[in-house]
């Protein structure tokens, strides 16, 4: 994995540079729904650096004991020095050779969000990044006579509840929900993620927690299947997602993110998810099912390009769904490693080729509306 000296310009930044101030102001004003953002992948860099500084205070870097075997720490929390190295990599901007290099990055982040207090801070930072207007009015918005726009009008934040020495999975979810529920129901809600690497017992426990919390009136709107694309037997998960649907939870599944994953897609589709994450490698039959059912596809352009599951914008499956006028939701995935933004993702729709897809304002308005219409029903926002 290469480490850049300063954050490289991502595809979204390049697309933004190709737009006029009035085009940027148009994108800023557009009500945008962010429906695919992973909490621990979306921590703003300044918040991550703060958490890392505090972690260093409480865990002084210490060399491993001389008699420790080389991989004794393989399944334990990373050492303080390793965490700092990973944070530095994230700060400088990472380049990966493939999607498989992304997943190990999260273990350092996890060490920094392992207490209720640090998780609360991280969640607050993520919510603020997406929902609060930038503190200084952007030049483009000011030029158009408007104030600073929030990045998104609505955020469905997803996260995988982790049990740590400092909190149970329930406390993890309650901590995140407390922060989400401090926002209006029209602004933010939670999706509970099940990670492919979970054992069947843990996956069941997480599903039951999502159901219970929703029954208690907490703002859980859906469940997700995420995690390292290599880890697999989706059968157990599919059974759980059927239960989730019966409980009225929305279901979204990371599906066909890589070619190797596409063998499991039919099984995943059998639980009739309302939305699919990425869905990069669907075959003809699967696309037909998705079109017939109106399954929304969560599109993360920068993530796909940087993870090299799509080699260039021109080849991206978004073009197929745009041509079919099929529901899509433009999203960021993980702003922490990818250093992207929801505005930059929309800039990729608008910028002229080869920087973007060259869509018109009315086409982009239609796409943004699709995102807003693909939100999972939120019981707490019903009149
Ligand atoms: C790049 N595409 C992706 N595909 C699949 N899963 C991903 C992902 N990006 C992130 N995650 C999942 O989200 C977790 C971090 O957030 P939370 O701890 O849940 O808040 C990662 O560990 C991974 O399981």
| Nearest-CA residue for atom 12 of ligand 1 | 227
Which residues of the chain have a pLDDT value below 50? Answer: 3-4, 64-75, 136-139, 141-142, 145
* pLDDT for res 148: 64
* pLDDT for res 361: 98
- How many A from CA of 66 to the centre of ligand 1? 34
Residue 266 CB coordination number (10 Å): 12
* pLDDT for res 379: 78
| Nearest-CA residue for atom 23 of ligand 1 | 227
Q: Find the residues whose C-beta lies inside 6 A of ligand 1.
A: 38-41, 99, 102, 106, 159-160, 193, 195, 226-227, 254, 257, 303, 307, 333-334
Q: Tell whether ipTM is more than 0.90.
A: yes
**Cβ within 8 Å of residue 214, ≥6 positions away:** 220, 247, 248, 249, 379
Structural domains of the chain, with CATH: 8-44+116-381 (3.20.20.140)
Asked if 250 and 191 touch (Cβ cutoff 8 Å), the reply is yes
Whether residue 174 is preceded by a cis peptide bond, meaning omega within 30 degrees of 0, is no
* pLDDT for res 79: 72
- The structure's pTM equals 0.93
pLDDT in tens, 7-56: 778 999 999 999 999 999 999 999 999 999 999 999 999 999 999 999 88
Q: Give the E-state strand segments of 135-218 in sequence order.
A: 154-159, 188-195
């Amino acid at each position: 994995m290469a480490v850049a000296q300063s954050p490289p310009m991502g595809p979204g930044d390049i697309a933004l540079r190709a737009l006029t101030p009035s085009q940027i102001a148009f994108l800023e004003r557009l009500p945008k729904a962010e429906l695919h953002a992973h909490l621990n992948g979306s921590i703003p860099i300044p918040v991550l650096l703060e958490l890392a500084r505090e972690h260093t205070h409480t865990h002084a870097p210490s060399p491993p004991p001389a008699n420790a075997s080389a991989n004794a720490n393989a399944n334990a929390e990373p050492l303080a020095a390793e965490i700092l190295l990973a944070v530095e990599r994230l700060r400088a901007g990472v380049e990966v050779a493939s999607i498989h290099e992304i997943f190990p990055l999260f273990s350092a982040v996890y060490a920094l969000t392992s207490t209720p207090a640090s998780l609360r801070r991280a969640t607050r930072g993520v919510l603020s990044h997406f929902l609060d207007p930038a503190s200084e009015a952007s030049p483009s918005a000011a030029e158009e006579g408007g104030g600073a726009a929030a990045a998104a009008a609505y955020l469905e934040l997803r996260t995988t509840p982790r049990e740590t020495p400092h909190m149970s999975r329930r406390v993890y979810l309650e901590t995140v929900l407390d922060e989400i529920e401090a926002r209006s129901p029209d602004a933010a809600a939670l999706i509970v993620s099940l990670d492919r690497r979970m054992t069947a017992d843990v996956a069941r426990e997480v599903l039951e927690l999502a159901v219970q919390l929703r029954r208690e009136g907490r703002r859980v709107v859906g469940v997700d299947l995420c995690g390292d694309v290599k880890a697999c037997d989706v059968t157990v998960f599919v059974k759980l997602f059927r239960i989730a649907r019966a409980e009225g939870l929305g279901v979204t599944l990371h599906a066909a993110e890589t070619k190797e994953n596409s063998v499991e897609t039919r099984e995943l589709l059998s639980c009739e998810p309302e939305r699919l994450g990425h869905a990069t490698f669907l075959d003809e039959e699967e696309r037909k099912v998705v079109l017939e059912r109106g399954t929304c596809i969560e599109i993360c352009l920068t993530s796909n390009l940087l993870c090299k599951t799509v080699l260039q914008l021109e080849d991206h499956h978004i073009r197929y769904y745009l041509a079919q006028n099929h529901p899509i939701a433009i999203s960021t995935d993980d702003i922490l490693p990818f250093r992207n933004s929801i505005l930059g993702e929309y800039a990729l729709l608008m910028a002229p080729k080869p920087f973007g897809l060259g869509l018109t304002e009315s086409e982009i308005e239609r796409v943004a509306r699709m995102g807003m219409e693909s939100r999972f029903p939120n019981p707490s926002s019903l009149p």
